[in-house]
Amino acid sequence: MSAGLATFLDRLHANWIRVPMIVLALAGSLLNLAILAQLRRLRNRPASQWRMRPLSPHKIRMERWQMVLSIATLMLIVVEEYFHLRTSGHL
């Protein structure tokens, strides 16, 4: 059973699936961080200050979670690429 699992994991770690998944994760997390930065920039503009209502604690918490998860995704991509480079010798 462990030999079958190792074979499955080797096939799952093949470049044809690994590279597109990393690219999608990288693009998604960078897009999410860009959108969060744009939201903060628009909220802090002087022209929008007069119509701003205080954000609900739920909304603040959700934006923080999105930022933390996006940064964690970027860190996991870096760690995965580092270990892949160490074990395989190529990206």
**Is 9 a residue whose pLDDT tops 80?**
no
Q: How far is CA 38 from the centre of its chain?
A: 17
Q: What DSSP character marks residue 49?
A: G
Residue 2 pLDDT? 67
C-alpha to C-alpha distance for 29 and 25, rounded to whole angstroms:
6
Residues making up the chain, counted from first to last? 91
Distances (CA, A) of 89 to 5, 41, 83, 85: 23, 42, 9, 5
Mean of the per-residue pLDDT values of the chain: 89
- 47 versus 76: which is more confidently predicted? 76
Of residues 39 and 16, the one with the higher pLDDT is 39
Q: Mind listing the pLDDT tens digit for each residue in 56-91?
A: 999 999 999 999 999 999 999 999 999 988 888 777
